[in-house]
Amino acid sequence: MAWLRAWIFNLTFYIGSLFWSIALLWVLFLPEDKVRKTVHFFYYRYVNFIIRHIMGIKLEIKGLENLPKEGSYILASKHQSAYETLILPYLIPNIAIILKEELTKIPLWGLYPKKLGMIAIDRGSGTRAMRSIVKGALRTKGEDRPILIFPQGTRVPPGAQESYKSGVAKVYKDTELPIIPMALNAGLCWPKNGFIKKAGTITFEFLPMIPAGQKPQEMIKNLESTLEAHSNALLPAELQEKIAKDQVA
């Protein structure tokens, strides 16, 4: 049943994404804010619908009171799957995601990230990539929009260890924006590079703000300890025990 559901969902997702990429080409000629509203209304609502009703994945949100209602801030999220990149623009329509440049080269679909005001970076270019991240983040701050960054820079399976990159510290320092950490357990239902996805409930937990102005090294330490602890707490007990044993070893 899980295999059949995954097949139906993936076909619906990819065919639907192609359909909306063609059907919404006209919005690329509109101002950026209208592009975001239109793509949110049609595409992201569609994706949220099929995830819930075909894949059987529901979303539980905790700590919504910690999320600012307006203004610019940095949302620093754990990254375990494609799920969060599809759902967060649905929850926060004006968010600017820091994403890899390769996504902008996907035929048709790749036309949209730039028009949506996303921040595309070439991860292999070192200093140039860092400059482009900061430039995009400062532009987004000037537009009073939130910025989504994945501090580990890549998808990491639940409970696995991966270092936090310097990009989040650089953005934090140069934009002088506060950080909202976001823990999650999406990888339990939607594995990294996994074709077979599982029905279930994914939790997003928005955590208390890390204010602007801390030393970047201190912020990274606080962010990592907070995100790892809260994300691990969202995992099943047996996986939490395994993580604890690995840390002791």
What digits encode the pLDDT tens for the residues 178-223?
999 999 999 999 998 878 899 999 999 999 999 999 999 999 999 9
pTM of the model: 0.93
Residue 50 lies in a domain: no
184-196 pLDDT, tens digit per residue, is 999 999 998 878 8
Our count of domains for the chain comes to 1
Residue 112 lies in a domain: yes
Residue 1 lies in a domain: no
Residue 100 lies in a domain: yes
| CATH code of the domain covering residue 111 | 3.40.1130.10
Match 């075909």 to its residue by tokens.
Answer: 54
Rounded to 10 degrees, what is the CA torsion of 191, 195, 199, 205?
30
Question: What's the rounded Cα separation, in Å, for the pair 108 and 231?
Answer: 35
Containing 49, the helix (H) or strand (E) segment is helix 45-53
pLDDT above 70: residue 248: no
| Buried-state track 146-162, b at ≥16 Cβ within 10 A, e below 16 | bbbbbbbbebbebbeee
Residue 121 lies in a domain: yes
Question: What's the rounded Cα separation, in Å, for the pair 102 and 70?
Answer: 30
Question: Which residues span the domain enclosing 218?
Answer: 60-248
pLDDT of residue 204: 98
pLDDT above 70: residue 123: no
Of 126, 64, 66, 141, residue with least CA distance to 96: 141
How many helices (DSSP H) and strands (DSSP E) are in the chain?
Answer: 9, 7
Q: Higher confidence at residue 150 or residue 126?
A: 150
Question: What's the rounded Cα separation, in Å, for the pair 7 and 201?
Answer: 20
142-162 pLDDT, tens digit per residue, is 999 999 999 998 999 998 889
